[in-house]
Structure 1
């Protein structure tokens, strides 16, 4: 498959040219290795047992003799390689010595932080722009700079967004045949639970309980549901204890399969009574759809034709569309070194789906709506936030499934998700 450019490519190139070591982290099979290979002088694939044995026999010698940048792929299979890499960098801190990729953080294994030597770079499944599904006309970077122009027309309709939700941002799944994708997604989840979880040293007492919990978590996507309520959705005979739920969260986070959106905390005393509960998300909305056994027919009624599709399960589609929007916004915000959070007051009377923010308090706020044309009710929380943040609120945006990007008379930008890019 031809290499598809990723948003982090430029960021990775800059880091390789500037720091001794870069660690690219994220879920398995999202393209970390393919992106890193483009910069590597030598590749050490530690997922290959034979190559791993050779490297383990003389780690520092193998690293010292290799042509830099040395790509250490799936380093978690030999955690001691991290210490060998650190010692090599101590001896020669030249830029571009090492690139490490990993799809898991080893549990109960202590590795040096790499502070001052290594920069971690998060990679996520492909956004709409990276998939080639859309040609963006509105840049998040331009909006962050305060540029007001919002325009453009999208060819994607509601049915197309459903296809993107179900089609996945994992390259090997996204570009497989439509018939194969559901099987590949189900196999990805099955492999994670049955193989990757035990490889991290965690063996559930009741494997079926973990599968039930992941499915219940998927049903809570784009919500701030309590972990108690998530567990309550599991059959009584498989319901885990609170301690076991903590273990489940820990091991799945180490595999980068949970990608929660933290609560916004940068209030500068202007936002009182904010909730602190993260918003639940899996790494890819297609994983949630697979776990919930969702198909296009589950979400849409296309009996009158695809162009006139109507909602069959609007609430579920709304949560999955927000998951897709969250993935895209996170990918586009990362090169700007901006954090992504959500806002929900403790009593739930006010909430903003996503906020992109900098340490100095500047913020862009997003609402995510299935409707093609948002109304005044859809933007009321954006205006509430604007009243409190003042000039620190750089822009107010509604992401939609519509066709056209424009600004409302009240200044809110309405942008089809397909038209937003980095």
Structure 2
């Protein structure tokens, strides 16, 4: 049953099935993710009643009730959605207590676009399940055919995959700039849809950057830091280097300032770095542990750089990094139903895999992202070298290796490495 607040033309999301499973296993489910990514609409598909904490007509009264009698805000048909619950962190403990008392699964959904600064009295261990949401993947928005299933690749090795995408590099440039924002992801790419990421960036810099802890922050600092972060997309740039680069461009900020702004962007789920994978290797080699820098959606980086589809096509180096970020977002979405996580691998010799999808059972797959058919061979050779370096006696062999491209044909090379257009990939 869907509440009356839910939109009628809702486009199904991969997160829908994940939410149903988590509601069946825990008393409450916490949905986390950047604003505008669709958390509320997804939650409303499963909820039977809802408390909207940011409803201007009720916000004042709701905040007062959260202080005096939070249990009153939990009344309603279950599952009950508490949207933007972090506006009243007391709701966490109220839900935890209610779950203990009611002893039933699937009672509450808590959705929020920021991490509250005040910690609850109890962690909620055993009562809460957690679910992370991103913007729409290309398969969800209909911009990928979804013919090549990640689940099938893991289960069967993808033998004999056959798929084709008509997407061109120009198409992928436009999709990277538009992003996966549900408000525009189902529309044709247009000048209006390309503005959404710019509007998002403005909202973060001028309003949201100060909200998680109610500390006033400088919107210009937020903008220049996000711009510098965007320049580091898909690289292992350190915060110290970011400060140094800011200084070279005329903005000198202290270590504390830069670290605090980035930490706040992380609390808002705007920044979502890719951690390093640390497999067991049969050859001695030090693995670099610095995360790769990514925004929740590649269009945020595009907006921070002041870029457009046309400018990306004139700067293929930058476009290549943003294409990698686009692929990482989609891999994260497609890995979720498999209880998978996405990492990156790089060692001191420079050998790397742009992404590594690791499932809960220990199986894993290696990915490289390449912008043209000419570079596929380079990507495949790199993946084979990484695979050869892994101690398969401990880790097992990779389930598969794949080079992701913008468009064209999906096929299996003679050496076993798959070539898959990101516009053919799906869950």
Residue 170 in structure 1 maps to residue 175 in structure 2? no
**Most deviating of 162-171 and 260-269:** 260-269
SS of residue paired to 2:207 = helix
Provide Cα deviations, 1:241-292, integer angstroms capped at 9, x if missing partner: 2222221121111000001000002326666310000000001111100111
Residue of structure 2 equivalent to 1:317: 319
**CA distance in 1 between partners of 2:167 and 2:10 (Å):** 24
Residue of structure 2 equivalent to 1:307: none
**Most deviating of 138-147 and 352-361:** 352-361
Residue of structure 2 equivalent to 1:6: 13
Q: Answer yes or no: is the 8 Å Cα contact 1:70–1:98 preserved in 2.
A: yes
Q: Answer yes or no: is the 8 Å Cα contact 1:44–1:72 preserved in 2.
A: yes
Residue of structure 1 equivalent to 2:83: 73
**CA distance in 2 between partners of 1:223 and 1:122 (Å):** 23
SS of residue paired to 2:301 = helix
Cα offset for 1:232? Answer: 2.1
Residue of structure 2 equivalent to 1:185: 197
Residue 209 in structure 1 maps to residue 221 in structure 2? yes
Cα offset for 1:134? Answer: 2.1
Residue 156 in structure 1 maps to residue 167 in structure 2? yes
SS of residue paired to 1:116 = coil
Residue of structure 2 equivalent to 1:364: 365
Residue 409 in structure 1 maps to residue 419 in structure 2? no
Residue of structure 2 equivalent to 1:51: 58
Residue of structure 2 equivalent to 1:396: 401
**CA distance in 1 between partners of 2:202 and 2:364 (Å):** 39
Give the one of 259, 265, 270 matched to 2:272. Answer: 259
- Structure 1 pair 156–352 and aligned structure 2 pair: CA distance change class (3 A): same
Give the one of 139, 144, 148 matched to 1:138. Answer: 148
Q: Which runs of 5+ in 2 are unaligned?
A: 1-6
**CA distance in 2 between partners of 1:8 and 1:33 (Å):** 12
- Structure 1 pair 45–194 and aligned structure 2 pair: CA distance change class (3 A): same
Cα offset for 1:393? Answer: 1.0
Residue of structure 2 equivalent to 1:20: 27
SS of residue paired to 2:191 = coil
Q: Answer yes or no: is the 8 Å Cα contact 1:221–1:323 preserved in 2.
A: yes
Give the one of 37, 42, 64 matched to 1:30. Answer: 37
Give the one of 195, 199, 212 matched to 1:200. Answer: 212
Residue 122 in structure 1 maps to residue 132 in structure 2? yes
- Structure 1 pair 90–268 and aligned structure 2 pair: CA distance change class (3 A): farther
**CA distance in 2 between partners of 1:125 and 1:270 (Å):** 39
TM-score by length of 2: 0.91
Q: Answer yes or no: is the 8 Å Cα contact 1:274–1:344 preserved in 2.
A: yes
SS of residue paired to 1:222 = coil
Cα offset for 1:136? Answer: 1.5
SS of residue paired to 1:153 = strand
Give the one of 321, 333, 339 matched to 2:341. Answer: 339
SS of residue paired to 2:99 = helix
**CA distance in 2 between partners of 1:111 and 1:288 (Å):** 37
Cα offset for 1:334? Answer: 1.0
**CA distance in 2 between partners of 1:81 and 1:350 (Å):** 47
**Most deviating of 224-233 and 132-141:** 224-233
Q: Answer yes or no: is the 8 Å Cα contact 1:74–1:103 preserved in 2.
A: yes
**Most deviating of 25-34 and 101-110:** 101-110
Q: Answer yes or no: is the 8 Å Cα contact 1:353–1:366 preserved in 2.
A: yes
SS of residue paired to 1:238 = coil
SS of residue paired to 1:104 = coil
TM-score by length of 1: 0.92
**CA distance in 2 between partners of 1:108 and 1:85 (Å):** 16
- Structure 1 pair 376–16 and aligned structure 2 pair: CA distance change class (3 A): same
Q: Answer yes or no: is the 8 Å Cα contact 2:71–2:94 preserved in 1.
A: yes
**CA distance in 1 between partners of 2:110 and 2:121 (Å):** 14
- Structure 1 pair 384–363 and aligned structure 2 pair: CA distance change class (3 A): same
Provide Cα deviations, 1:352-401, integer angstroms capped at 9, x if missing partner: 10001135542100000001354432222211122133442111100012
